[in-house]
Amino acid sequence: MKQIIVQFGGTGDLAQKKLYPAYQSLLSKGYEFHIIALGRRYSDKASFQKEMVNPEARELLEKLDYVQYDMAEPESTVRIVERIEELIDCDASIELIYYIALQPNLYEDAIHQIQTIDSQFTCTLSKKIVVEKPFGFDAESAARYNKILSLAFKDEEIYRIDHYLGKEFMQNLLIMRFHNDIIRSIWNNRTIESIQIVFDETHGVDQRLGFYEKIGVVRDTIQNHILQIVTYLTMSEPASFTSEDIAIEKVKVLRSIKPINEFRLGRYESIGSTRGHAVETPTYAALKLYVNTFYYAGIPIYIRTGKMQARAVSQIYVKFKNMTRSVVNDDSIHENSVIINIHPELTIDISMNLKEPNTSWKSRPVKFRFNHADTFGVNTPEAYEQIIEKILKSDKSLFPSIREIYESWRIVEPMLQEGQEIEIYPARSLPRFASRMIEKDGIIWYTDSAAAKET
């Protein structure tokens, strides 16, 4: 089958940094597809390719076409139809993949224009539509987008992207939990005391201010990536690793989470404010939630994520209950834990107490480490490569279902209310509320502890 990707937002940051390298890698591995990139800023293919694509990406340059296209001028869809028609042969089997990578406020218009484009072909074409996250601004707009999409596409033809599902650490969470008897038997509320999820970025909004201003941290990461991580950490074992079976378990988790009521939002102090470029939207959030299913109820899950932090940290910390302390009557005994570090490299540590040499029955925590790069090498495909490969193969196992998306919007809804208090924090510092929230429960962020710094 001949596959043609029609890339809306083909001149954007995502296309340049992630999609084109992923296309190049897949083409060099023998996949065969064409890409028609769409954008406003270049007038022709040569200038587009020169600015947007690595000149060494030989296979990509051969297959990557460009059409100047402005959504405000619906007649430019004619050029897209013409270009597609030049590539198709009605006797062959053809699949069109419309990939929307635009600011979310343009999605509705883009979907309408895709319907117009799609209705022009006389051949029978199979089709897919790919939509970047966040899917909607809230539950209401997500339902509206979905309704419009479903006028032209069946649900199995719709791929809603959350690229975290293409990341190795996410897939490893499921494999670690469900391919290991020892982990399976301890992964529940009888043994787990609390979970911490930290995603701190060092950079600010940078050149993406216009985009981010309409989005903010809740829509950018919490509604999608963070809640997907929560589902992977707490879902029950799926009947299989197919998209349908995984979605069933993820939806159960999300439906058990109440709308978040323990949270605080922050915004970093904008240095550019005098030039009129101040960030107005929340750039940091800390929150606590519970998954109210039989095996996970009662485990507090502490989450913090946002921009302009001193250190880039992407870490999941699972702390186990410490019965040993009482059993051996020794308060110095450390808890066991599983620590998943995602950045700068993927490692999984299991922390256990073992005897310290030259002592009389004294123990010390020791980490057993899996390092992904040391074990499997550094050439693991990037998340987007895995995601696009699945789209080409019509495998939906790495895509959230629409029910997950609706439930996620319901959960974060209180965080999206207008008029919330937003604490200003100095750049490169943790907002005070993030520490206060966890310290009031008698714990600290593992990532800031001395233990975290020892490897």
- Give me the residues that bind ligand NAP (CB under 6 A), please: 9-15, 17, 39-41, 69-72, 101-104, 106, 132-133, 163, 208, 211
The minimum distance between CB 161 and ligand NAP, in angstroms, equals 7
Rank residues 40 and 58 by Cβ distance to ligand NAP and give the closer one. 40
The minimum distance between CB 137 and ligand NAP, in angstroms, equals 12
The minimum distance between CB 52 and ligand NAP, in angstroms, equals 9
400: preceding bond cis by omega (within 30 degrees):
no
Rank residues 37 and 57 by Cβ distance to ligand NAP and give the closer one. 37
The minimum distance between CB 208 and ligand NAP, in angstroms, equals 6
Rank residues 163 and 319 by Cβ distance to ligand NAP and give the closer one. 163
The minimum distance between CB 330 and ligand NAP, in angstroms, equals 48
Rank residues 228 and 234 by Cβ distance to ligand NAP and give the closer one. 228
The minimum distance between CB 217 and ligand NAP, in angstroms, equals 13
Residue with the CB atom nearest ligand NAP in the bound state: 12
Rank residues 44 and 374 by Cβ distance to ligand NAP and give the closer one. 44
Rank residues 11 and 270 by Cβ distance to ligand NAP and give the closer one. 11
